[in-house]
């Protein structure tokens, strides 16, 4: 019996897939089809798959050509599948010519002619129009965002608005996108809005964009008042618009795996979370001179609060801040201690004091440790009382990681709600509330008087 294997995502199952499976089956007597999991696709940068794994499997099954369907979960699995299932022929579409030649060591490799004029990408673009992104703000993060958006099919960065015309113009020229001198112009020429302006302008810009019926992705920290966050989410909900806070960590595969493992019971009940993020900035940087909204906690606090809110929930009994201030009264280092129903947590942020950036999650049976840059999670370890027992996990993190939040935002705009849990409205509101509490603190209060 000749055994054939082939692999694919098989999203929005189309004629090309049908033909490929038919020809693969005709190469032998028994056809095994590997269908990629969602997490595998995300890890390899395929961020906009529409159909669920079950739907894709079901469609492959319905083609009638597959004698067996397996799941493709990891890079390198193909070779072990070939060995495990005693495969004679590995078949794949001609778009992969040369890519799998190394497999000929294990079985025959056949590249089958691809059906012309159809692909999942094409169908996705037909069913979901390309969302033209208007960017508000033209700082460093906007540039990174723009480059990352190129890895997400279904969006295109169209133009930028910045009331500081010179900066906006330079940005537009550098990235070869439109430059808008007014927000009206931006709204007229784009479909969705990314807000990457200075923190204090987020509320006004997000509200304005929502009121112009635009879906919005807003950089963190979203806003500094609970009621502003609630209001913005309310406007979004009433207008059926998607509003996301862009904390990239929340959407990246490694961090999501970490949260899953932490919640799995492997380390028992979680009782302690210690999250530290420091990033030294120049004394004259915006972060250390912006009297109102500069400082370590406002700048970096969102990252550290994220795992705490994810694992302990948004309710806490007590929160206390301790800071070290610079001449201008901005915190160059802040420690926040939280007492939550389930345990204790510490946030440590520094723009003027360096410390070991680390995320530690302590449980009743073990602990998880993620070294810096844990906010771009690629690797973590689980330790136990028995020090010789260590479990290691790794996950990919592509580029600057912003592509994951862009992909999730886009999928949500296209009507796929399954990613919303990664950073919920309630979690964003809870973070805004903590920022507000921090700003109400004694020392900061003095600054406003
Ligand atoms: N395939 C094909 N003809 C097409 C499209 C796909 O023969 N017109 C083949 C691919 O070469 C691959 C298999 O079908 O062997 C599964 O491909 P998959 O990546 O799932 O489909 P695509 O349509 O290529 O998806 P995308 O546009 O997302 O890359």
Eight-state DSSP code of residue 383: E
- Total number of domains constituting the chain: 3
pLDDT at 444: 63
Query: What percent of the chain stands above pLDDT 90?
Result: 88
- 376 and 284 inside one domain: yes
Residues 6+ apart with CB under 8 A from 51: 10, 11, 12, 13, 59
Give residue 110 CA to ligand 1 midpoint distance, Å: 15
Give domain status of residue 97, yes or no.
yes
305 & 385 share domain: yes
Q: Identify whether residues 267 and 381 lie together within a single domain.
A: yes
CA distance 205 to 430: 20
Q: Are residues 81 and 138 in the same domain?
A: no
Has residue 419 been placed in a domain? no
Using a 6 Å CB cutoff, which residues line ligand 1?
8-11, 16-17, 20, 92-93, 95, 114-115, 118-121
- Ligand 1 centroid, distance to 99 Cα (angstroms): 14
If you ran DSSP here, which 8-state letter would residue 409 be given? H
For the cut 60, the answer to whether the pLDDT of residue 449 exceeds it is no
Same domain, 197 and 257: no
Q: Are residues 258 and 380 in the same domain?
A: yes
Cα angle: 223, vertex 226, 227; to 5 degrees: 105
Q: Which atom of ligand 1 is nearest to the CA of 122?
A: 27
Q: What is the pLDDT of residues 340-388, one digit of tens each?
A: 999 999 999 999 999 999 999 999 999 999 999 999 999 999 999 999 9
Is 424 part of a structural domain of the chain?
Answer: no
Residue 181 — very low, low, confident or very high, per pLDDT cuts 50/70/90?
Answer: very high
Domain-ending residue, one of 89, 112, 135: 112
pTM: 0.88
Distance from the CA of 19 to the center of ligand 1, in angstroms? 10
| pLDDT(73) > 60 | yes
Residues 356, 288 share a domain: yes
93 CA to centre of ligand 1 in angstroms: 7
Average pLDDT taken over every residue of the chain: 95
- Same domain, residue pair 381 and 296: yes
Q: Which atom of ligand 1 is nearest to the CA of 10?
A: 20
The residue whose CB lies within 8 Å of the most ligand 1 atoms, and thus the one to mutate among 4, 11, 16, 37, is 16
Instruction: Give one DSSP letter per residue of 47-65, joined into a string.
Output: ----S-HHHHHHHHHHHS-
Q: Give residue 149 CA to ligand 1 midpoint distance, Å.
A: 22
HEC assignment per residue over 224-266: CCHHHHHHHHHHHHHCCCCEEEECHHHHCHHHHHHHHHHHCCC
Return the pLDDT at 446.
Answer: 59
Domain that holds residue 257: 250-397
Buried b (16+ CB within 10 A) or exposed e, 393-417: bebebbebbbbbbbbbbbbbbbebe
Q: Which residues pair with residue 321 across a beta bridge?
A: 336
Lowest-confidence range among 60-74, 251-265, 293-307, 430-444?
A: 430-444
| Residue 98's CATH number | 3.40.50.620
Residue identifier of the C-alpha nearest atom 9 of ligand 1: 93
* pLDDT of the residue at 286: 86
Please name the residue whose Cα sits nearest to atom 24 of ligand 1: 119
DSSP collapsed to 3 states, the chain? CCEEEEEECCCCCCHHHHHHHHHHHHCCCEEEEEEECHHHHHHCCCCCCCCCHHHHHHHHHHHCCCCEEEEECCCCHHHHHHHHCCCCEEEEEHHHCCCCHHHHHCCEEEEECCCCCCCHHHHHHHHCCCEEEEEECCCHHHHHHHHHHCCCCCEEEEEEECCCHHHHHHHHHHHCCEEECCHHHHHHHCCEEEECCCHHHHHHHHHHHHHCCCEEEEECCCCCCHHHHHHHHHHHHHCCCCEEEECHHHHCHHHHHHHHHHHCCCCCCEEEEEEEEECCCCCCCHHHHCCCCCCHHHHHHHHHHHHHHHHHCCCCCEEEEEEEECCCCCEEEEEEEEECCCCEEEEEEECCCCCCCEEEEEECCEEEEEECCHHHCCEEEEEECCCCCEEEEECCCCCCCHHHHHHHHHHHHCCCHHHHHHCCHHHHHHHHHHHHHHHHCHHHHHHHC
Atom of ligand 1 at shortest distance to CA of 91? 15
Q: Is residue 439 part of a domain?
A: no
Nearest atom of ligand 1 to the alpha carbon of 12: 23
Residue 325: pLDDT over 80 = yes
The CATH number linked to 229 is: 3.40.50.720
Ligand 1 site-directed mutation target among 95, 97, 110, most atoms within 8 Å of CB: 95
Which of 20, 109, 116 to probe ligand 1 with, by most ligand atoms within 8 A of CB?
20
With the most atoms of ligand 1 within 8 angstroms of its CB, the residue from 9, 60, 103, 115 to mutate is 9
**pLDDT exceeds cutoff 90 at 437:** yes
pLDDT at 128: 87
The closest-lying atom of ligand 1 relative to the alpha carbon of residue 121 is 27
In a domain, 163, yes or no: yes
In the reported structure, the alpha carbon of residue 18 is separated from the centroid of ligand 1 by a whole-number distance in angstroms of: 10
Q: How far is the CA of 404 from the centre of ligand 1 (A)?
A: 22
Dump pLDDT digits (tens) for 220-262: 999 999 999 999 999 999 999 999 999 999 999 999 999 999 9
User: Could you identify the atom of ligand 1 that is nearest to the CA of residue 92?
Assistant: 15
Alpha carbon of 402 to ligand 1 centroid (Å): 26
142 and 86 together in one domain: no
Residue 415 forms part of a structural domain: no
Give residue 248 CA to ligand 1 midpoint distance, Å. Answer: 29
Nearest atom (ligand 1) to Cα of 113 = 7
Which of 220, 246, 272 terminates a domain? The answer is: 246
How much is the pLDDT for 251?
95
User: Residue 191 Cα, ligand 1 centroid: separation in angstroms?
Assistant: 29
Tell how far the Cα of 215 is from the centroid of ligand 1, in angstroms.
Answer: 31
Boundary of a domain, candidates 246, 280, 296:
246
CA 119 to ligand 1 centroid distance, Å: 6
Which pLDDT value is given to residue 39? 86
Q: State residue 54's pLDDT score.
A: 96
From ligand 1's centre to the CA of 11, what distance in Å? 9
Specify whether 52 is located in the same domain as 129.
no
Going by pLDDT thresholds of 50, 70 and 90, the confidence category of residue 308 is very high
Nearest-angstrom CA–CA distance, 215 and 232: 12
Task: Report the nearest-CA residue for atom 25 of ligand 1.
Answer: 120
In a domain, 403, yes or no: no
Query: What would the mean pLDDT of 269-280 be, rounded to a whole number?
Result: 98
Element (H, E) at 406: helix 402-413
Q: What is the CATH number of the domain that holds 335?
A: 3.30.360.10
Mark whether 230 and 256 lie in a shared domain: no
Atom of ligand 1 nearest to the CA of 9: 20
Task: Check whether residue 347 and residue 274 sit in a common domain.
Answer: yes
The pLDDT assigned to 447 comes to 60
| 354 assigned to some structural domain | yes
Please report which confidence band the pLDDT of residue 320 belongs to, taking 50, 70 and 90 as the band edges. Answer: very high
pLDDT at 419: 81
């Amino acid at each position: 019996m000749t055994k054939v294997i082939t692999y694919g995502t098989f999203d929005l199952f189309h004629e090309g897939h049908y033909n490929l499976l038919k020809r693969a089956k005709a190469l032998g007597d028994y056809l095994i089809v590997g269908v990629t999991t969602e997490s595998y696709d995300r890890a390899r940068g395929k961020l906009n798959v529409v159909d669920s794994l079950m739907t894709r499997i079901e469609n492959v099954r319905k083609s009638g050509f597959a004698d067996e369907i397996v799941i493709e979960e990891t890079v390198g699995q193909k070779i072990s599948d070939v060995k495990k299932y005693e495969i004679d022929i590995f078949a794949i579409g001609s778009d992969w010519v040369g890519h799998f030649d190394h497999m000929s060591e294990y079985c025959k490799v056949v590249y089958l002619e691809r059906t012309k004029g159809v692909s999942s990408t094409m169908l996705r673009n037909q069913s979901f129009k390309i969302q033209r992104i208007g960017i508000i703000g033209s700082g460093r993060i906007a540039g990174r965002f723009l480059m990352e958006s190129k890895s997400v099919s279904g969006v295109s960065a169209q133009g930028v608005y910045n009331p500081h015309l010179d900066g906006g113009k330079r940005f537009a020229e550098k990235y070869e996108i439109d430059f808008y001198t007014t927000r009206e112009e931006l709204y007229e020429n784009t479909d969705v809005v990314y807000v990457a302006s200075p923190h204090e302008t987020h509320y006004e810009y997000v509200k304005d964009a929502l009121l112009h019926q635009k879906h919005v992705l807003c950089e963190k920290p979203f806003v500094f008042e609970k009621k502003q966050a609630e209001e913005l989410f309310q406007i979004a909900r009433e207008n059926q618009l998607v509003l996301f806070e862009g904390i990239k960590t929340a959407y990246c595969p490694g961090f999501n795996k970490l949260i899953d493992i932490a919640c799995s019971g492997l380390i028992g009940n979680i009782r302690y979370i210690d999250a530290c993020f420091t990033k030294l900035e120049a004394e004259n940087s915006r972060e250390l001179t912006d009297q109102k909204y500069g400082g370590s906690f406002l700048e970096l606090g969102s990252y550290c609060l994220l795992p705490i809110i994810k694992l302990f929930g948004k309710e806490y009994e007590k929160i206390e801040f301790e800071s070290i201030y610079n001449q201008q009264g901005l915190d160059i280092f802040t420690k926040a201690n939280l007492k939550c129903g389930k345990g204790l947590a510490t946030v440590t942020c520094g723009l003027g004091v360096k410390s070991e950036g680390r995320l530690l999650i302590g449980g009743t049976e073990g602990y998880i440790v993620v070294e810096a840059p844990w906010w771009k999670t690629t690797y973590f370890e689980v330790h136990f009382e028995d020090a010789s027992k260590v479990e290691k996990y790794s996950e990919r993190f592509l580029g600057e990681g912003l592509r994951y939040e862009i992909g999730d935002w886009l999928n949500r705009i296209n009507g796929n709600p399954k990613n919303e849990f990664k950073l919920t409205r309630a979690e964003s509101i809870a973070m805004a509330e903590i920022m507000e509490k921090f700003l109400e603190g004694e020392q900061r209060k003095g600054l406003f008087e």
